[in-house]
Amino acid sequence: MHPLFASRATCTVGCFLVFMGMGLAVAGGWFLLQGGSWYYMAGGLAWVLTGVLLLRSHPLVLGIFGAYFLTTLVWVLWEAGLTEWPQHVSMYLLSRLG
């Protein structure tokens, strides 16, 4: 594969994670102030951190995203239990990004 393509793809995914993470963190902060779950704000910050590390080609990017993925899995099981549909909805995008 051509190095420029890999670099462009990495930049695209990194920017996507940063911008989506900022939106999720802001909305999650508002939700937290309304008495909601802390998860959305923390998840948004994890997306921003993952995107920034990906843009910088830092080796910790896989560890941060992996920790976020496992935390999300635990949170989904805690929130939704073993009911399949809520788990599917909560984990779909995250599993596609992984």
Q: What is the pLDDT of residues 16-60, one digit of tens each?
A: 999 999 999 999 999 999 998 888 899 999 999 999 999 998 889
**Is residue 1 very low, low, confident or very high in pLDDT (cuts 50, 70, 90)?**
very low
For the stretch 65-97, pLDDT in tens is: 899 988 888 888 887 777 666 666 666 566 656
Q: List alpha helices for 34-60, DSSP H.
A: 39-55
Domain count, the chain: 1
Percent helix, strand, coil in the chain (nearest 5)? Answer: 85, 0, 15
d(CA 32, CA 50): 22
Q: Which domain holds residue 79?
A: 3-97
Per DSSP, 71 falls in state H
Phi/psi at 16 (5° precision): -60, -45
Flag whether pLDDT at 2 surpasses 60: no
pTM, full prediction: 0.79
The answer on pLDDT for 6 being more than 80 is no
| pLDDT at res. 88 | 60
User: What pLDDT sits at residue 82?
Assistant: 74
